């Protein structure tokens, strides 16, 4: 049947197909439309639009379009792609039109827009159809597009007329004004929201009461590539939580803009931990937030693929009255308003943290620990991805002490294990089910480490016992029940510690189920750690009924959330309630609901939602948190009632936010009621030159304690205190000048403070040398200062050391050493360190396999590899003839650092090999090193000597080399700084000069055995110097064989023997005659000597008999 078409339709088709064939011709490229993409899910149909009103074909005048026509109800076209051809190249090509195409409207659009709406489809090298789209090509289509009217169409958000006004520069804006409209669309067009790949811009939510509901809309999206939020919302914790939860689902995110949100370090840390695919991030904007210098400096390391933008004002909290470095934010700067603000410069080198956060770094998730982190559906042990390996400890290594506590399932003992003070949790009932659950608890504990979680050390299968860190401070319950005075500063710190530990567990998907003061333990410094969390992971939110330990849900009723009595389900929210009860205990110092003694009335009382009364002296900051923790949950909470109970992470934020004001108020209580008079006292003492008063006065001006904030006054008093040598003020100035980019002054003050052991200044120096700020870039210096800070436990420097060794900055690349420092940082819970531990372990395994293959190709290679893999810790490569090049390969082997005894005698490593070996010794466990007869000269000895103070070596053999007096002098200089007690320097061409230098330092060393045999040139002069030093040494074995000391040397030794600890003396081959022997004979009676070697001297037989007769208890070699 012939259809009739009006003129408008004819013109529309002509315009569209003309544009279409411009794309199809050779040499034409439309950059907007990809040539081949994954097949679209848009609905396409063979066109039945009325386009012509006659049965005749429409011929166009355009060069490429020959004609189009209707054929049995389908629109088809003849195409002339090649202009040189008179006839069309393609005939009868079907035309597909997407549903809803308004051809009349399309003819009015500009040429480029039309071009974007049509596309040729290629198949097997030819054009098999042309396609007309309704809203532009979204990703293109593959050849052979399905010709169907039934496929479900997924419209693009950008093409919805109703939403166009909500788009700005590629971002869909979400504001309180358009929020509800977007929610309606998200419900009706769910697939479009899910597949939207553009940007989101959340703005204008500073005061809106519907902020909590924003989360539902954000979770409607799945493949967002750009996320931008600009909100100065007062509740920063709520803001960070919403951002973090949303970012977990945006797996294609490439740009994140947090400019102007006013977030702090911890919040940014947790947001970064939440990003689903951080390696895809290309731009991160954290400008105008309250970030420390160290956090900003760490971003480039954590996100190496991203451009970091950190301009504008940032600030760092000051945490109160303290003269300790760890209490002071040393990296700060000031602006015109006088507000203290930290430097916002970024680093290209180090991940970092301020000294004030040592040991409290947030860890967030551990990627390899648990599947589906943050997912509420994780409800069983089998869902945990845990390393099933447990460090087994034999019962023979355990010595039980006193019992610390007991329950229905077992007891806890203080014990000694492998020489360490530990706690042993021993299962007393031994049913198979209980043992299996107990082992699961051990596995869970072994897989989770945090600074505020009691550390798991091992498992004893013979005893069914867990070996854990011993906490000498006992339980929090015991402390609160005691009459000991516990300041609110201490109690607030305990609250923070427990919040850290619980937040970590929840991040790992673990519900504690039994949080109470009995399960919070304290170390010797009253720092708190959470315990008994392992078995809780077996009792997830779906668990109900009796547990295998005979305790309902693992909880204790007095701390249990009311909703659990209704639902019989444990949850993270239940843990938060229990945490609120622990906070209540900190104030009340008694058992919750202590007046109710009977179990059933107690349960009914709690089930009804009744709450304890918070004690009057509890700080307001804690009261607010307790109220939040006790907010009702369903079924007690009505749908229309107020806030939800916060997450543990948010509780931690609230505590941290309140901590600064709490400390300021507490420090203010130290002042007299008349603060003006107290400040005057400070001023008077400061004016009189009291450095501590000067520093504290500066701090008052910085934080506004008793005076108005005055940055210039603060710096003035810090400067005066620093000039008097007050180390904390020096460190403070170093941080201030560093933030202001006054690198000359920063270097000066950081050097002064770092030299006195200030950890913050040490870190700052490392940063400056590593990043060439004010100094020439020097990775060796950066490594040195990071090492000093790391030795004081600074997690950031531990991480940085791992990072430097991994990359070979400042030292040879050493994955084993990198692993050591990453592990130390991870043990403190330093963010990102655990992932680096796992990554480095994998690299080490690859490195080991590669090096094994190389070494096996050497002479004796199989023997070397076998010894490296041995558990003995001994490498005996004597006579293996290793070269310096082979040494450089050997020391890179991962197992080399497990060696404690290294014998390399009679090889040919020379100075070059010795120098390479020396560089690796400080990172090894070697305590016994034999390098005898290796052609080592002074150069090798000098480098070896320089390395020894940083090693564990106590026995060193360098016999048969050529170190000479120069080498002996260098060794003498460093011996007092080493652990060496046994030193073999025989046959080394050492003369009187070298012996004299050794003698001068012997009293300051740990040496008890000194071998100088066969040096020949020591002579009487050298022997005399040694003799003079011996009474003040610990030496009990002295070998001077073949040194030409003669009678003079023997006589000098004889004079002092009675004042020494020497019991073994070797003087053979020394040209000693009867005169010298007589002097020795006269002296031996009052000595400790039991063995004397006088072989190959000029002593007569008669004198030898006389010696033996006079000293029958001495063994003579003559």
Q: pLDDT at position 367, please? A: 27
Residue 115, in any domain of the structure: yes
How does residue 724 score in pLDDT terms, banded at 50, 70 and 90? very high
* 399 DSSP 8-state letter: E
Which position has the higher pLDDT, 799 or 956? 956
For the stretch 41-53, pLDDT in tens is 334 444 333 333 3
* More confident site: 39 or 994: 994
Residue 793 lies in a domain: no
Residue-level pLDDT at 832? 73
More confident residue, 440 or 507: 507
**CATH number of the domain encompassing residue 496:** 1.10.510.10
In this structure, what are the phi and psi dihedrals at residue 819, rounded to the nearest 5 degrees?
-60, -40
Q: What's the average model confidence in pLDDT over 836-851?
A: 85
CATH number for the domain spanning 1090: value is: 3.80.10.10
**Complete DSSP assignment for 795-844:** HHHHHHHHHHHHHTSSS---HHHHHHHHHHHHHTT-TTHHHHHHHHHHHH
Taking Cα atoms as reference points, which of 1091, 1031, 1039 lies closest to residue 1070?
1039
Residue 604 counted as domain residue: yes
> Which of the residue ranges 461-465, 868-872, 922-926 would you say has the lowest mean pLDDT?
868-872
The total number of structural domains in the chain stands at 4
pLDDT for res 443 = 74
**Does residue 678 belong to any structural domain of this protein?**
no
Same domain? For 62 and 174 the reply is no
Q: Does residue 38 or residue 418 have the better pLDDT?
A: 418
Most confident listed range (20-34, 86-100, 130-144, 337-351): 86-100
Please give the distance of CA 361 from its chain centroid, rounded to a whole number.
8
Identify the CA nearest to 554 among candidates 538, 577, 531.
538
Residues 1108 and 1048 in one domain: yes
**Which of the four pLDDT bands, split at 50, 70 and 90, describes residue 529?**
very high
* Percent share of the chain, pLDDT over 70: 72
Res. 679: pLDDT tops 50: yes
Please tell me the distance from the alpha carbon of residue 968 to that of residue 418, in angstroms, as a whole number: 39
State mean pLDDT over 132-153: 38
Q: Which two tokens stand for residue 328?
A: 């002071």
Give the mean pLDDT of 548-552. Answer: 33
Same domain, yes or no: 605 and 507: yes
Question: Which tens digits make up the pLDDT trace of 712-722?
Answer: 888 999 999 99
Q: Specify the pLDDT at position 555.
A: 44
Q: Residue 141 — pLDDT band, cuts 50, 70, 90? A: very low
Q: H-helix or E-strand containing 465?
A: strand 465-469
d(CA 744, CA 957): 46
Sorting pLDDT into bands at 50, 70 and 90, what band is 1006?
A: very high
Residue 300 has pLDDT above 70, yes or no: no
Kindly report the average pLDDT of the chain as a whole number.
76
Q: Is the pLDDT of residue 252 over 50?
A: yes
User: Do residues 183 and 130 both lie within one domain?
Assistant: no
The C-alpha angle 208, 183, 201, rounded to 5 degrees, equals 60
DSSP conformation letters of 486-537? --HHHHHHHHHHHHHHHHHHHHTT---S--SGGGEEE-TT--EEE-S-TGGG
For the cut 70, the answer to whether the pLDDT of residue 121 exceeds it is no
Which tokens sit at 840? 């480095």
Question: Does residue 845 carry a pLDDT above 90?
Answer: no
What pLDDT digit, counting tens, does each position of 67-118 carry?
556 666 666 766 655 545 556 666 777 766 555 555 444 444 444 444 445 5
The answer on 214 and 66 residing in a single domain is no
Read off the pLDDT of each residue in 740-745 and give the average, rounded to a whole number.
88
Residues 96 and 121 in one domain: yes
pLDDT of residue 880: 76
Q: Are 563 and 635 in contact (CB under 8 A)?
A: yes
Can you tell me the mean pLDDT for 642-647?
Answer: 81
For residue 790, being part of any structural domain is answered with no
**What is the pLDDT, as a whole number, of residue 118?**
54
- Contact residues for 1019 (Cβ-Cβ < 8 A; gap 6+): 991, 992, 1043, 1044, 1045, 1046, 1049
Last residue of a domain, one of 153, 175, 196: 153
Contact criterion met (CB below 8 Å) for 899 and 925? yes
Which of residues 497 and 57 earns the better pLDDT score? 497
Question: Model confidence over 1041-1083: pLDDT tens digits?
Answer: 999 999 999 999 999 999 999 999 999 999 999 999 999 999 9
Classify residue 204 by burial, with Cβ atoms within 10 Å: 0-12, 13-18, 19+.
Answer: middle
Indicate whether 755 belongs to any domain: no
Which band of pLDDT confidence, cut at 50, 70 and 90, is reported for residue 844?
confident
| Encoded tokens for 822 | 């990453």
Q: Answer yes or no: is pLDDT of 363 > 50.
A: no
Candidate from 109-113, 190-194, 834-838 with smallest mean pLDDT? 109-113
What was the pLDDT predicted at 355? 30
Q: What is the mean pLDDT of residues 793-815?
A: 87
Which among 829, 761, 769, 753 has a CA at the least distance from the CA of 795? 829
Give the mean pLDDT of 14-31.
45
3-state helix/strand/coil string of 707-768: CCCCHHHHHHHHHHHHHCCCHHHHHHHHHHHHHCCCHHHHHHHHHHHHHCCCHHHHHHHHHH
Top pLDDT among 347 and 122 is at 122
Over range 873-886, report the average pLDDT: 82
Q: Within this chain, do residues 315 and 177 fall inside the same structural domain, yes or no? A: yes
Regarding whether 1051 and 909 lie in a shared domain, the answer is yes
Distance between CA atoms of residues 949 and 1004, nearest Å: 14
Query: How many other C-beta atoms can be found within 10 angstroms of the C-beta atom of residue 1105?
Result: 11
- Do 632 and 546 belong together in one domain? yes
What's the confidence (pLDDT) of residue 842? Answer: 86
Contact 1069, 1096 (CB under 8 A): yes
pTM of the entire structure?
0.40
End position of a domain, from candidates 324, 357, 390: 357
Q: Is position 541 within any domain? A: yes
Q: Which of 265, 497, 514, 1013 is catalytic?
A: 514
- Map residue 259 onto helix, strand or coil: coil
Residue 787: the pLDDT is 92
Domain boundary among 127, 153, 179: 153
Is 104 part of a structural domain of the chain?
A: yes
Neighbours of 150 (CB within 10 A): 7
Identify which of 140, 143, 117 has the alpha carbon closest to the alpha carbon of residue 128. Answer: 143
Q: What is the pLDDT averaged over residues 544-573?
A: 66
Is the pLDDT at 186 greater than 80, yes or no?
no
Average pLDDT over residues 754-758: 90
Look at residue 912 in the predicted model and tell me its pLDDT.
92
Which pLDDT score, from 0 to 100, does residue 472 have?
85
> How far is the C-alpha of 67 from the C-alpha of 541, rounded, in Å?
69
Residue 667 near residue 321 (C-beta atoms within 8 A): yes
Q: Residues 70, 206: one domain?
A: no
Q: CA-to-CA distance for 486 and 499, rounded, in angstroms? A: 19
Alpha helices in 923-1032 (DSSP H): 938-947, 964-974, 992-1001, 1019-1029
Task: Tell whether 950 and 978 lie within a shared domain.
Answer: yes
Rounded average pLDDT over 879-903: 83
- Report whether pLDDT(822) > 80: yes
Give residue 294's pLDDT.
Answer: 62
Q: For residue 239, what are the domain limits?
A: 161-357
Question: What angle (nearest 5°) sits at the alpha carbon of residue 185, between those of residues 184 and 186?
Answer: 90
Q: What is the CATH number of the domain that holds 190?
A: 3.80.10
82 catalytic per annotation: no
CA 375 – CA 366 distance, rounded (Å): 14
Per-residue model confidence (pLDDT) at position 1028: 95
Contact 279, 305 (CB under 8 A): yes
Alpha-carbon distance of 478 to 484, in angstroms, equals: 10
The separation between CA 119 and the C-alpha centre of its own chain, rounded to angstroms, equals 51
Q: Where does the pLDDT of residue 379 fall: very low under 50, low under 70, confident under 90, or very high at 90 and above?
A: very low
pLDDT at 825 over 50: yes
What's the pLDDT at 306? Answer: 82
Within this chain, do residues 976 and 1002 fall inside the same structural domain, yes or no? yes
Nearest CA to 448 out of 545, 537, 351 is that of 537
956-1001: pLDDT as tens digits: 999 999 999 999 999 999 999 999 999 999 999 999 999 999 999 9
């Amino acid at each position: 049947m012939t259809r009739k078409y009006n003129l408008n339709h004819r013109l529309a088709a002509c315009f569209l197909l003309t544009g279409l064939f411009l794309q199809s011709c050779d040499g034409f490229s439309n950059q907007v439309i990809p040539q081949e993409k994954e097949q679209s899910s848009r609905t396409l149909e063979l066109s039945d639009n009325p386009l012509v009103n006659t049965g005749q074909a429409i011929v166009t005048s355009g060069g490429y379009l020959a004609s189009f026509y209707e054929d049995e109800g389908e629109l088809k076209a003849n195409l002339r792609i090649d202009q040189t051809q008179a006839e069309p190249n393609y005939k009868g090509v079907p035309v597909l039109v997407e549903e809803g195409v308004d051809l009349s409207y399309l003819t009015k659009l500009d040429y480029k827009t039309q071009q974007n709406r049509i596309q040729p489809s290629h198949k097997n090298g030819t054009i098999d159809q042309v396609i007309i789209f309704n809203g532009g090509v979204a990703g293109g289509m593959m050849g052979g597009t399905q010709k169907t009217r039934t496929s479900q169409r997924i419209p693009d958000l950008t093409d919805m007329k109703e939403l166009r006004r909500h788009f700005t520069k590629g971002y869909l804006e979400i504001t309180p004004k358009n929020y509800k409209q977007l929610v309606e669309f998200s419900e009706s067009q769910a697939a479009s929201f899910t597949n939207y790949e553009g940007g989101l811009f959340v703005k204008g939510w500073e005061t809106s009461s519907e902020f909590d509901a924003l989360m539902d809309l954000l979770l409607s999206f799945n493949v967002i590539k750009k996320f931008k939020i600009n909100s100065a919302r007062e509740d920063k914790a709520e803001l960070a939580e919403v951002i973090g939860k949303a970012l977990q689902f945006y797996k294609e995110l490439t740009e994140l803009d947090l400019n102007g949100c006013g977030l702090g370090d911890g919040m940014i840390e947790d947001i970064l931990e939440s990003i689903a695919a951080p390696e895809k991030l290309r731009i991160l904007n954290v400008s105008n937030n309250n970030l420390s210098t160290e956090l900003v400096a760490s971003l480039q390391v954590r996100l190496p693929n991203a451009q970091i933008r950190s301009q504008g004002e940032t600030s760092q909290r000051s945490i109160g009255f303290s003269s300790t470095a760890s209490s002071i934010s040393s990296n700060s700067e000031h602006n015109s308003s006088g507000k203290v603000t930290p430097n916002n410069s970024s680093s290209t080198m180090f991940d970092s943290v301020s000294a004030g956060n040592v040991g409290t770094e947030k860890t967030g998730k551990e990627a390899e620990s648990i599947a589906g982190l943050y997912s509420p559906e994780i409800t069983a042990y089998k869902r945990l991805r845990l390393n099933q390996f447990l460090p087994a400890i034999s019962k023979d290594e355990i010595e039980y002490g006193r019992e610390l506590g007991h329950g229905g399932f077992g007891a806890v003992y203080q014990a000694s294990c492998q020489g360490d003070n530990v706690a042993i949790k021993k299962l007393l009932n031994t049913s198979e089910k209980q043992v299996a659950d107990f082992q699961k608890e051990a596995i869970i504990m072994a897989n989770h480490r945090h600074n505020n979680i009691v550390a798991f050390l091992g498992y004893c299968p013979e005893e069914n016992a867990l070996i854990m860190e011993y906490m000498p401070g006992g339980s929090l319950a015991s402390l609160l029940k005691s009459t000991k005075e516990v300041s609110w500063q201490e109690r607030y710190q305990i609250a923070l510690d427990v919040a850290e530990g619980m937040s970590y567990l929840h991040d790992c998907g673990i519900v504690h189920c039994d949080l109470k003061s009995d399960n919070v333990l304290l170390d010797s410094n009253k720092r708190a750690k959470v315990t008994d969390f392992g078995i809780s992971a077996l009792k997830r939110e779906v668990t109900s009924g009796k547990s295998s330990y005979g305790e309902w849900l693992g909880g204790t009723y007095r701390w249990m959330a009311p909703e659990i009595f209704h639902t019989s389900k444990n949850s993270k929210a239940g843990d938060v309630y229990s945490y609120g009860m622990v906070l209540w205990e900190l104030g009340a110092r008694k058992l919750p609901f202590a007046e109710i003694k009977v179990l059933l009335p107690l349960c009914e009382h709690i089930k009804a939602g009744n709450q304890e009364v918070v004690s009057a002296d509890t700080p307001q900051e804690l009261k607010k948190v307790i109220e939040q923790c006790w907010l009702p949950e369903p079924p007690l909470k009505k749908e229309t009632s107020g806030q939800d109970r916060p997450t543990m992470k948010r509780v931690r934020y609230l505590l941290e936010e309140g901590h600064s004001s709490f400390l300021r108020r507490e420090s203010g209580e130290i002042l007299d009621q008349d603060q003006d008079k107290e400040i005057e006292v400070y001023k008077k003492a400061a004016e009189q030159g009291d450095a501590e008063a000067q520093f504290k006065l500066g701090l008052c001006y910085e934080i506004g304690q008793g005076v108005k904030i005055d940055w210039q006054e603060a710096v003035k008093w810090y400067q005066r205190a620093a000039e008097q040598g007050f180390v904390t003020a020096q460190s403070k100035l170093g941080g201030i000048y560093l933030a202001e980019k006054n690198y000359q002054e920063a270097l000066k003050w950081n050097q002064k403070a770092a030299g006195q052991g200030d950890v913050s200044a040490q870190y700052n120096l490392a940063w400056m040398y590593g990043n060439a700020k004010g100094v020439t870039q020097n990775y060796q210096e950066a490594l040195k200062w990071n090492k000093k800070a790391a030795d004081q436990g600074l997690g950031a420097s531990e991480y940085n050391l791992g990072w430097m060794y991994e990359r070979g900055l400042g030292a040879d690349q050493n994955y084993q050493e990198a692993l050591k420092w990453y592990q130390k940082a991870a043990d403190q819970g330093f963010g990102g360190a655990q992932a680096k531990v796992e990554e480095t372990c994998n690299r080490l395994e690859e490195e080991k396999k590669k090096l094994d293959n190389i070494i096996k190709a050497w002479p004796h290679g199989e023997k070397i590899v076998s010894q490296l893999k041995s558990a003995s810790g001994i490498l005996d490569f004597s006579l293996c003839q290793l070269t310096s090049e082979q040494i450089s390969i050997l020391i890179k082997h991962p197992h080399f650092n497990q060696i404690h005894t290294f014998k390399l005698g009679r090889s040919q490593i020379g100075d070059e090999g010795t120098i390479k070996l020396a560089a690796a010794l400080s990172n090894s466990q070697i305590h016994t090193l034999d390098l005898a007869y290796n052609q080592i000269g002074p150069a090798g000895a000098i480098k070896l000597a320089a390395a020894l103070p940083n090693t564990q070596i106590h026995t060193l053999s360098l016999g048969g080399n050529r170190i000479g007096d120069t080498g002996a002098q260098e060794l003498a200089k460093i011996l007092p700084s080493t652990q060496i007690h046994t030193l073999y320097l025989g046959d080394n061409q050492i003369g009187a000069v070298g012996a004299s230098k050794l003698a001068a330092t012997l009293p300051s060393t740990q040496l008890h055995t000194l071998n100088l045999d066969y040096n020949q040139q020591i002579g009487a002069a050298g022997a005399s110097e040694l003799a003079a030093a011996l009474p003040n040494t610990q030496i009990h074995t002295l070998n001077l064989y073949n040194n030409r000391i003669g009678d003079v040397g023997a006589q000098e030794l004889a004079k002092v023997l009675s004042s020494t600890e020497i019991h073994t003396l070797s003087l053979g081959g020394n040209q000693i005659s009867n005169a010298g022997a007589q002097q020795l004979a006269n002296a031996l009676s009052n000595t400790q000597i039991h063995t004397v070697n006088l072989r190959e001297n000029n002593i007569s037989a008669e004198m030898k008999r006389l010696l033996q007769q006079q000293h029958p208890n001495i063994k003579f070699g003559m």
